[in-house]
Amino acid sequence: MDQDRIRNFSIIAHIDHGKSTLADRILELTGTVSGREMREQLLDSMELERERGITIKAQAVRVPWKGYELNLIDTPGHVDFTYEVSRSLQACEGALLVIDAAQGIEAQTLANAYLAIENDLEIVPVVNKIDLPQADPDGTAAEVAELIGDTADHVLRISAKTGQGVAEVLDTIVERIPAPAGDAHAPARALVFDSSYDQYRGVVAFVRVVDGSFRAREAVRAMAQGTRFEAEEVGFFSPTMRAAEVLETGEVGYVVTGLKDVSRLRVGDTLTSERAPAGEPLPGYKDVKPMVFAGLFPTDSDDYPELRDALEKLKLNDAALFYEPETSQALGFGFRCGFLGLLHMEIVRERLEREFDLDLLVTAPNVAYRVTTPTGEVVEVHNPAEMPPEREAVDEPYIRASVIVPKEYVGSVMELCNDRRGRFDHLEYLSEERVLLVYELPLAEIVLDFYDQLKSRTRGYASFDYDLVGFRPSELARVDILVGGEPVDALSLIVHRDAAHARGKALVERLREEIPRQYFDVAIQAAVGSRVIARETVKAKRKDVLAKCYGGDVTRKRKLLERQKAGRRRMKQVGAVEVPQEAFLAVLNLGDGKR
């Protein structure tokens, strides 16, 4: 295809604002998929994504339109995958910015729109769902125009559901979005903007050819990681995989690598030809590091091998997932896992439980800390129990949070951000009704329950997004929980010094309710270093007998004893204290809304 007849674009939209419906309509209108073949929301292939309305993995579909080749590059919709979104956007020259005419701009849209603008993309603003009775196309158009510095009459008004205005969208893509630049005669370079794993074919890389061209059976090298492989096949999706002879300059398609491990080919890397390699990789590659960590333990310790196998399989498909074995005296054998963010964590957990049928205990998540030891060494700590007692300084990750709320909730959102050690950055009115608040906050404050709090304080009206802005020094304390004088590793936490007392107190109170009475008094303490900051006591039981036991009762009493004994066997020993697994579960487990 002629390079100037190619248009590469993506769609930026908030969840439920109609991205998938618009993509479906485009496939239909361009004859890529017939109405009968049409599967709703074709691009979202995984079951989980469909249910949650999230697209985790990007794909690219090629559609013909009036003699042009349009490549629609799908982007993940969530903040945890910002880096992947940025790579996807880098593969495009333009983006459709789709806004729900009834909902207006949301924080996620904003973040991704800014990302597109930063990537010098041509933005085509589209107001969708104009057929809805509560739609406000003019107001929304004005809001969008204001945001991107355009005029309202430049904003397209469509209904992806009915198909109204979709042809105009395609025409506008051809008109406004520039053809890809790039030198067809230069050494070959292609940006890997996504990948997926196929059991039989190995890693399939989604690429945008920037310079030169790639052919099947050619020796290829990934420049950042140095991985070498033979391109077993090249081609494109339309909408299913179609092999091609060649992927040319400006085109978007796939390369079958045969690699058996996704981590060997990371998103953002540059492919080049082994025969005539390029001198410089494309800019912007970075190794994505997990920022949120949690311990994953099988509820039944016999399931440990299944959990290990499941994580191995997930990792094939999810290069950003990190895990290493962790042993906890309270919870047994499990894994400490690293995630890009909370959503990523939730997705991994759900996939483990749903696809692999595992029953998991997930410890309270924490962030990555950078600790400077007294010897000046800097170590990254992923587990509160591993926080060195002696330390010069601790840095923790900070984020820049954007919150969009109706103006009447500004006060309560600011209060929440201030409570969470937030630093106010700025506030702006997006419209008369809606306000954008920007705060810098420690990521650790977000992973706890920030989102739930935000939702409840704004009756669900707030939308929220964040970017990592780097590590900053903090006054942090490691709070240890001691049961009968023995520290319980899985319950250690790192909190800001000012919150240590309150959090420690809440934890020991909860534990006191959960730990059954023993033969002796059991002290439950929260301590920072050697200083006890909260204490509760589980009083010794003075009496525990079966009142009567005669000839007629023996069977029943024996069965009772056997049940008691089975309960004893499930107890975890913390020093001399027997603690039921359920006690840890109650204190640790997420998702019960009590946090």
Which lies closer to other proteins via its Cβ, residue 460 or residue 552? 552
Cα separation, 208 vs 289, whole angstroms = 24
CB neighbour list of residue 210: distance below 8 Å, 6 or more residues apart = 180, 182, 189, 190, 191, 249, 282
Q: Least distance (Å) from other proteins to the CB of residue 542?
A: 4
Between 185 and 565, whose beta carbon lies closer to other proteins? 565
Q: What angle do CA 228, 319, 298 make, to 5 degrees?
A: 135
d(CA 396, CA 543) in angstroms, rounded, equals 49
Report in angstroms how near the CB of residue 490 gets to other proteins at its nearest: 23
Residue identified by tokens 């496939």 is: 27
CB of 232 to other proteins, least distance (A): 58
Cis peptide leading into residue 325 (ω within 30°)? no
Q: Give the residue carrying structure tokens 């204490």.
A: 535
E strand segments, 90-213? 94-100, 122-128, 156-157, 189-198, 202-211
Site string for other proteins, 314-333 (x = CB under 8 A): --------------------
CB 528 within 8 A of CB 479: yes
Q: How far is the CB of 555 from other proteins (least distance, A)?
A: 5
Could you say which residues in the range 172-191 bind other proteins, by CB under 8 A?
none
User: 301 vs 564, which CB is nearer to other proteins?
Assistant: 564
* Residue 561 touching other proteins (CB under 8 A): yes
Please pick, from the candidates 564, 570, 594, 595, the single residue that binds other proteins as defined by CB under 8 A. 564
In this structure, are strands 270-273 and 252-256 parallel, antiparallel, or unpaired?
unpaired
Instruction: Write out 350-405 in H/E/C secondary structure.
Output: HHHHHHCCCCEEECCCEECEEEECCCCCEEEECCHHHCCCCCCEEEEEEEEEEEEE
Binding mask 521-560 for other proteins (x = CB under 8 A): --------------------xxxxxxxxxxxx-xxxxx--
Tokens of 6: 């190619």
Which DSSP helix (H) or strand (E) runs through 24? Answer: helix 19-29
* Token couple for 521: 């008094």
The CB-of-553 to other proteins minimum distance in angstroms stands at 8
Q: Select from 66, 498, 519, 537 the one that contacts other proteins (CB under 8 A).
A: 519
**Residue 483 beta carbon to other proteins: minimum distance, rounded to whole angstroms:** 16
CB 465 within 8 A of CB 107: yes
Q: Is the Cβ of residue 425 or residue 582 nearer to other proteins in the bound state?
A: 582
Identify whether the C-beta of residue 365 lies closer than 8 Å to the C-beta of residue 425.
no
Angstrom distance (rounded) from CA 109 to CA 232: 37
d(CA 468, CA 263): 23
* DSSP H stretches of helix in 284-335: 304-317
Residues in the chain: 595
Considering beta carbons, is residue 66 or 556 the nearer one to other proteins? 556
- Residues 350 and 48: beta-carbon distance below 8 Å: yes
Specify the residue, 217 or 542, whose C-beta has the smaller distance to other proteins.
542
What are residue 87's phi and psi, to 5 degrees?
A: -70, -40
Q: How far is the CB of 289 from other proteins (least distance, A)?
A: 44
Please, which residues bridge with residue 208 across strands?
A: 191, 252
# chain residues binding other proteins, by CB under 8 A: 26
Tokens of residue 143, six digits: 């809001």
CB 220 within 8 A of CB 192: no
- Within 8-27, the residues that bind other proteins by CB under 8 A are none
Least distance between other proteins and beta carbon 532 (Å): 25
Q: What is the DSSP letter of 3?
A: G
Yes or no: say if 483 and 571 are a contact pair by the CB < 8 Å rule: no
The smaller minimum CB distance to other proteins, of residues 36 and 565, is found at 565
Q: Which stretch binds other proteins (CB under 8 A): 300-308, 414-422, 525-533, 561-569?
A: 561-569
520: contact with other proteins by CB under 8 A: yes
Nearer to other proteins, 187 or 516 (CB): 516
- Rounded to a whole number of angstroms, the distance between the first and last alpha carbons of the chain is 56
Q: Which is nearer to other proteins, 258 or 516 (CB)?
A: 516
The nearest distance, CB 372 to other proteins, in angstroms, is 44
Please identify, using beta-carbon distances, which residue of 558 and 594 lies nearer to other proteins: 558
Residue with Cβ nearer other proteins (531 or 548)? 548
Show the tokens assigned to 307.
């959990």
**Closer residue to other proteins in complex, CB, 200/550:** 550
Q: Is 459 in contact with 408 (CB distance < 8 Å)?
A: no
CB of 301 to other proteins, least distance (A): 18
Inter-residue contact 307 to 336 (CB < 8 Å): no
| Min separation Cβ 290 and other proteins, Å | 40
For residue 517, the minimal CB distance to other proteins (Å) is 9
Name residue 100's amino acid: D
Kindly indicate which of the ranges 279-287, 480-488, 495-503, 562-570 contains the residues binding other proteins, using the contact rule CB under 8 A.
562-570
Closest CA to 180 of 11, 3, 59, 61: 3
Residue 303: CB minimum distance to other proteins, A: 24
Question: CA 62 to CA 74: how far, in whole Å?
Answer: 11
217 lies in the binding site for other proteins (CB under 8 A): no
**Nearest to other proteins of 276, 561 (CB atom):** 561
The minimum distance between CB 513 and other proteins, in angstroms, equals 15
User: Smallest gap, in angstroms, from Cβ of residue 563 to other proteins?
Assistant: 9
Nearer to other proteins, 153 or 544 (CB): 544
Beta-carbon contacts of 216 under 8 Å, excluding residues fewer than 6 positions away, are: 231, 232, 233, 234, 243, 245
- One residue of 276, 378, 502, 576 binding other proteins per CB under 8 A: 576
Decide whether 390 or 544 has the Cβ nearer to other proteins.
544
Residues of the shown chain interacting with other proteins in the complex, contacts defined by CB under 8 A: 519-520, 541-552, 554-558, 561-562, 564-565, 567-568, 576
